[in-house]
Amino acid sequence: MSGPKTCSFLCSRREVFFSMAELLYRLGRLSARRAWLFIISWLAVLGLAGAAFAVFGGTLSSTMTIPGTETERVADELTEQLGDVGGISATVVFGSEDGSAFSAEQQGDITDALAELTSQNNVSDVIDPFETNAQRDDQAQEIMDGREQIDAGKQQLVDGQAQLDAAATELEAGQTQLDAAIEQAQAAGFYEASVDQFDAQQAQIDAGLAEIDTQQATIDENTALLAEQEEQLGFGERLMDAASEISLVSTDGATALGLITFDSELLDIPGDTKTAIADELDAIDIDGVTVDYSSSITTSTDGLLGVGELIGVLLAGIVLLVLFRSFLPATLPIVSSIIGVGVGVAGSLAFSGVVDMTSVTPILGVMLGLAVGIDYTLFIVQRHRRQLAAGMDLHESIGLANGTSGNAVLFAGSTVLVALLALNVSGIPFLGVMGTVGAVCVFISVLIAVSLTPALLALLGKRVLSRKARANIGHESHTLPPARAMRTSRAVVMLIVATLGLLIVAIPALSMRLGLPDGSSEPADSTQYRTYTTIAEEFGAGQNGTLLVTATLPAPVAEEDELETQADLADQLLAVDGVVAVAPIGVSDSSDYFAFQVIPVDGPSSESTGALVHELRDSSPLAGNIELGVAGSASGNIDISEKLADVLPLYLAVVIGLSLIILILVFRSLLVPVIATAGYVLSLLAAFGAMVAVYQWGWLGALFGVTDPGPLLNFAPIIIMGVLFGLAMDYQLFLVSGMREAYIHGVPAKAAVMSGLRSGRAVVTAAAIIMIAVFGGFVFSHLAIVRPLGFGLAVGVLFDAFVVRMMLVPALMHLFGKSVWWLPRWLDRILPSVDVEGSALERSHPMHAADPHDTSDGAAPAAAAPESSER
């Protein structure tokens, strides 16, 4: 009973995966026969996607936020309590070309130029640096005048008190004299006769004393009032001193900062508004004055492809030309990938009106769409070329290539999809959207590869081969000789060199810091870089990373005590290590909520600023149960980076777990998945190490356009982790599946390693070089935020394809021998049979030789072989 049941179960498993390969085979032949129908259909889909984007596409965000962070909580609280004081602003830097102070005429022109910006949409106000500085000077002068007035008042009170004391002394002397006269009159017996005179004198003295008491009360009252005014003035002086390092005009008067405030968050501002503001700023023409502006204005989502990206695609084309030795087949993967990218990216962006997307979201889709689109098409085209060169009929070869390599492409694409969609488990919305858009582009690339590629191959016919190859169709030179096992000593050397090399490159990853790029990471000749560096040089690096600090009191304070409370809080904040200046920016109507602008010592991406944010938060509550909150762009970047760093281990565990399960399923082995996964981790760590060395340490910075090293792009590691996983599994599949196939067909285990390596390394090498070229093109992107992402992916593919898959994995599989394919019987029985290479289909459709000069359609596919032949 158990035998038939087992046979039925195994047969059903085979039929499921055989049917997928058969389905792709039939799809390939259908596409080849109806080539123009498929081509026109995909072009129509491309047009519909473009039209949908044009009609329904919304604004892409230039900021990245994570719901639930402390920064977002404080920002919402600020908006609720004080309005838009925490809103985003843009900075315009005006500089004197000759380094001299601005003339009165230049100051007037700058003021007028800034005032004209208020006519732009979404601009709520413009802060004039000269007017603001004049107001500060006036306030300082008022305090000085007030101090002089108080000092003068004190002197007047001192003089008045002295006069009053003298009068009181005189009255006391008069009283003494009167008392003595009365006493003498009484002794002489003529008091009664002089009593009226004595009473008059006493009344005069009493009136004088009463007047002195009145004047003393006035002096005491004025002294108290003056003391109160002096105290309030002291509070003002303390606040002025706390904010003394904050200025909009440099000390030499040659640099001025204009601030543009918006009536909504920057992510809600349309790109055309920012472009209009940038155009108006570029058009400012003031004699002897330069104009630069911050990255918040220059940040744009226009132009998904720049010169660097196009060069990357061009290099991919050159690789294909070298591989195929023919122009037409070399263009086929490029054309199909561009169509796939157009459909995937435009289709995804059509939903940007209802889903929040960042400016980097479509870039990831372009990267992956180009890279995997070219590679997946390459795998099918190369399989078809090899079959056609061996003498197979044209349409049969197209169908079989689609059913075998296309099946592998389908599986490989599925691994990438899983890795990208798993980004949604991070709980970080913008990252999940990026992963989803990337997955959509990969999915479209897979569909293009298995449906459009056969149609294009049919149009090319035998021109998919070079002239020399067409002349030798069916020649035995197209068959590889049997492989021989590598020497064990060579395997040991490869293992040691590969492992040590990757570990050494990975060392810098131990000091990896995460953050978002600021103006210092932009090209040195860009306006945003000049703005950032000018502010740092003339006003202090901390003014590029201003923090917003709030203080919530347990109970409201009286209106007359607000200034004292502000001064006390400002002094406490100024005493914190790493704070340069503190300025009050608002008090709530209930007088229990105070907000301050805090300027740190260093810029927003520095370690000291991160430490300052933590120290401020850890110091809460202050004495008196005063709760502190910290917000601002620098604080937000820190929160996002830390949240992403916390998610990394979980995501890595998910990816590694998926890797082990998928590879056990595919290769029916326990050691192969462990080797593959360990190799993936090594290449991932090496990629991180290389990124830290270049972008954080600044090694080879001039080569890669790194002007000022800083922390790594905070979401780059998790993106690279997911994408590299999918690509690593692709290369593992296309190399090791050939080894397994050879081993199953009786080739000794160690010889099977070399057999699979020889049969697959040419196409994997080309695919990896293409990946590196495409990703490498983004290293020199016009968008600074994209560069480390492209670098990490390019280096990761380099390490994984050429060091891990072609050195480390073959060496370990050779050393383990046939034990590498061991799988417990109980596990073998329950695992489904995954024929990713379509071997069953290949056996069911044996080669149909064709006349080399025959361009007609091939014979119909042979009938499927009986089930027993599969066993």
Mean pLDDT (whole number) for 442-455: 94
Confidence band of 49 (pLDDT split at 50, 70, 90): very high
Mean pLDDT (whole number) for 452-461: 93
Is residue 398 over pLDDT 80?
Answer: yes
Is residue 639 over pLDDT 50?
Answer: yes
List Cα–Cα distances, 375 to 25, 241, 339, 521, 633, in angstroms.
19, 63, 14, 32, 40
pLDDT at residue 289, as a whole number: 92
For CA atoms 332, 337, 338, 342, give the dihedral sign: positive
Cα–Cα distance, 466 to 463 (Å, whole number): 7
pLDDT at residue 18, as a whole number: 46
Which two structure tokens, joined as six digits, stand for 753? 């390693």
pLDDT at residue 64, as a whole number: 65
Q: Which residues contact 249 (CB under 8 A, 6 or more apart)?
A: 129, 130, 133, 255, 256, 257
Judging by beta carbons within 10 Å of its beta carbon (0-12, 13-18, 19+), is residue 352 exposed, middle or buried?
A: buried
pLDDT at residue 706, as a whole number: 84
Helix (H, G, I), strand (E, B) or coil at 142: helix
What percentage of the chain exceeds 70 in pLDDT?
89
Looking up tokens 């009929």 gives 393
For 108-140, b where at least 16 C-beta lie within 10 A, e where not — what string?
Answer: ebbbebbeebeebebbeebbbbbebeeebeeee
Tell me the per-residue pLDDT of 296-341, one tens digit each, with 9 for 90 and over.
777 554 555 667 677 878 888 888 888 888 888 888 999 999 999 9
Instruction: Find the helix packing angle between 191-242 and 129-188, rounded to 10°.
Output: 160
Is residue 143 over pLDDT 50?
Answer: yes
pLDDT at residue 197, as a whole number: 86
Tell me the per-residue pLDDT of 534-546, one tens digit each, with 9 for 90 and over.
999 999 888 888 8
Is residue 505 over pLDDT 60?
Answer: yes
pLDDT at residue 310, as a whole number: 79
What percentage of the chain exceeds 90 in pLDDT?
23
Is residue 109 over pLDDT 80?
Answer: yes
CA 103 to chain centre: 42
More confident residue, 359 or 349: 349
CA 482 to chain centre: 50
pLDDT at residue 84, as a whole number: 63
Cα–Cα distance, 121 to 670 (Å, whole number): 62
Cα–Cα distance, 419 to 368 (Å, whole number): 13
Is residue 209 over pLDDT 50?
Answer: yes
Confidence band of 88 (pLDDT split at 50, 70, 90): low
Mean pLDDT (whole number) for 248-271: 76
Mean pLDDT (whole number) for 40-53: 93
More confident residue, 266 or 585: 585
pLDDT at residue 132, as a whole number: 87
Confidence band of 482 (pLDDT split at 50, 70, 90): low
Confidence band of 586 (pLDDT split at 50, 70, 90): confident
Conformational region of residue 122, where left means phi above 0, alpha means psi within -120 to 50, and beta covers everything else: left
Mean pLDDT (whole number) for 290-298: 83
Q: Please state whether beta strands 712-713 and 514-515 pair in parallel, antiparallel, or not at all (unpaired).
A: parallel
pLDDT at residue 858, as a whole number: 38
* Strand partners for 629: 550
Is residue 727 over pLDDT 80?
Answer: yes
More confident residue, 250 or 855: 250
Helices (H), 619-748: 633-667, 671-691, 716-744
- Rounded to 5°, angle at Cα 607 from 604 and 611: 95
Confidence band of 854 (pLDDT split at 50, 70, 90): very low
Among 521, 505, 517, 511, residue whose Cα is nearest residue 796: 505
Confidence band of 477 (pLDDT split at 50, 70, 90): low
Cα–Cα distance, 45 to 351 (Å, whole number): 16
pLDDT at residue 782, as a whole number: 73
pLDDT at residue 279, as a whole number: 86
Helices (H), 422-482: 429-460, 467-471
More confident residue, 217 or 415: 217
3-class DSSP string for 23-70: HHHHHHHHHHHCHHHHHHHHHHHHHHHHHHHHHHCCCCECCCCCCCCH
pLDDT at residue 35, as a whole number: 92
Cα–Cα distance, 383 to 398 (Å, whole number): 9
Mean pLDDT (whole number) for 209-213: 88
Confidence band of 246 (pLDDT split at 50, 70, 90): confident
Helix (H, G, I), strand (E, B) or coil at 846: coil
Is residue 372 over pLDDT 70?
Answer: yes
The CA-to-CA distance between both ends of the chain, in Å, stands at 19
pLDDT at residue 474, as a whole number: 66
Cα–Cα distance, 258 to 335 (Å, whole number): 48
Altogether, the residues listed in the chain come to a count of 871
Judging by beta carbons within 10 Å of its beta carbon (0-12, 13-18, 19+), is residue 34 exposed, middle or buried?
A: middle
pLDDT at residue 692, as a whole number: 95
* Strand partners for 581: 599
Confidence band of 6 (pLDDT split at 50, 70, 90): very low
Lowest mean pLDDT among 83-97, 509-523, 773-787, 857-871: 857-871
Mean pLDDT (whole number) for 788-803: 93
- Rounded to 5°, angle at Cα 741 from 735 and 746: 130
Which two structure tokens, joined as six digits, stand for 99? 């380094």
* Strand partners for 849: 392
pLDDT at residue 16, as a whole number: 42
Helix (H) or strand (E) holding 257: strand 255-262
Q: Which residues contact 818 (CB under 8 A, 6 or more apart)?
A: 743, 748, 749
Is residue 487 over pLDDT 50?
Answer: yes
Confidence band of 46 (pLDDT split at 50, 70, 90): very high
Which two structure tokens, joined as six digits, stand for 3? 């035998």
Is residue 856 over pLDDT 80?
Answer: no
For residue 621, is the peptide bond before it cis, meaning its omega torsion is within 30 degrees of 0?
Answer: yes
Q: Which residues contact 120 (CB under 8 A, 6 or more apart)?
A: 273, 276, 277, 280
Is residue 829 over pLDDT 90?
Answer: no
Confidence band of 861 (pLDDT split at 50, 70, 90): very low
- Are 377 and 332 in contact by the 8 Å Cβ rule? The answer is yes
Cα–Cα distance, 44 to 245 (Å, whole number): 61
- Are 315 and 773 in contact by the 8 Å Cβ rule? The answer is yes
Tell me the per-residue pLDDT of 707-721, one tens digit each, with 9 for 90 and over.
888 888 888 888 888
- Are 292 and 93 in contact by the 8 Å Cβ rule? The answer is yes
DSSP annotation of 805 reads: I
Is residue 12 over pLDDT 60?
Answer: no
Sheet holding 289-293, edge to edge: 123-127, 255-262, 89-96, 289-293
Mean pLDDT (whole number) for 668-672: 89
Q: Average pLDDT over the chain, rounded to whole? A: 83
Cα–Cα distance, 684 to 698 (Å, whole number): 20
Helix (H, G, I), strand (E, B) or coil at 600: strand
